[in-house]
Copies of this chain bind each other. A is one copy, B any other.
């Protein structure tokens, strides 16, 4: 394995094989498996889980990490091709990425959506440019429209909890003070479809996921025996749900237009998960969220702190599955 950029790049059996490797590495630690290996982590956007889980995953396999955070002790980086660099950014990623890669055995890159042009972001234009600059094993630590490490961790979390592979998985839009990127909803809906689940996207009018995201998920569902649909009828969506996966994202209709988007979002304050959402769900329905979560905006304290919430387990599984990813990238 040379790159871990998108769960869709792997057949279902290979994903399950990575999950098995993760389980083995957790049960039987290999504290020297990656001894002498250096992982470079380039964060163009903030992080807590991704930073800490990649560092700890690497260290638990005996490797080490170098972290570069532009603007935080490191030069601000330019990403625009052809830029005349007479502003704040001192260095271009065209140098920064190959230089960091040259010091390391593998690198991870986090680069969120620009949030201006939907097609540009859905096409992963920015991340693909970065990936093209890197000749070492590469991990996507969240790009404009993907977050494969989160998806893999969530898959494992559902396996841990014995959520049926054919179970009902509801990805629900929830509120947030700002329009957030499509990376996690895109990765999540695809992952659940690839796991073979009955996937329902519940979202208010105006928050439909872009067609390419839905189509990719539908294709995965078709290959893997699941299904994917969307609705604005939250109550109907949640009926019998085994999982409620809450996520914030911006309206694709008003992409890059934060004022109009904010007006659309304003009356949607009831899209904050509370216990009433689970009335007709499966009694054991789990609450999932990739974190960070805006308490009492996206989800009520009572749910996040209650027995349905498995968010800490999801976060922990980031470390566990990333050990498998790093093992595959660096040991094969």
Contacts and interface: CB of A to CB of B under 8 A. Distances in A.
Interface string A44-83: 0011110111011001100010111110111100100011
A21 interface: no
A75 B110 CA distance: 14
Interface stretch (A95-103, A216-224, A233-241): A95-103
A71 to B, nearest CB: 9
Which of A51, A56, A83 counts the most B-chain CB atoms under 10 A from its CB?
A56
Given A85-B295, A297-B86, A74 B48 contact: yes
Nearest to A46: B75
Contacts of A291: 91, 95, 99
Interface in A173-206: 177
A293 interface: yes
Contacts of A96: 48
A82 B66 CA distance: 36
A217 to B, nearest CB: 27
A99 to B, nearest CB: 4
A154 to B, nearest CB: 15
A103 B316 contact: yes
Nearest to A67: B73
A52 B40 contact: yes
Interface stretch (A2-10, A29-37, A139-147, A163-171): A29-37
Contact of A31 (B35, B59, B74, B297): B35
Contact of A84 (B43, B84, B295, B311): B295
Integer count of this chain's copies in the complex: 3
Contacts of A293: 91-92, 95
Contacts of A100: 48, 52
A116 B29 CA distance: 47
Question: For chain A, which range describes its interface: under 10, 10 to 19, 20 to 34, or 35 or more residues?
Answer: 35 or more
A332 interface: no
A294 B40 CA distance: 23
Contacts of A73: 43, 46-47, 51, 67, 69, 72
A40 B316 CA distance: 14
A319 interface: yes
A295 B83 contact: yes
Contacts of A36: 29, 31, 60
The 10 lowest CB-CB distance pairs between A and B, nearest first, are A91-B292, A56-B103, A102-B316, A69-B73, A85-B294, A99-B315, A84-B296, A59-B64, A90-B292, A86-B177
21 contacts: A29-B36, A31-B35, A38-B56, A38-B60, A40-B52, A46-B73, A47-B75, A52-B66, A52-B100, A52-B103, A59-B66, A72-B72, A75-B292, A83-B296, A86-B297, A92-B295, A94-B295, A95-B293, A99-B315, A102-B315, A103-B316
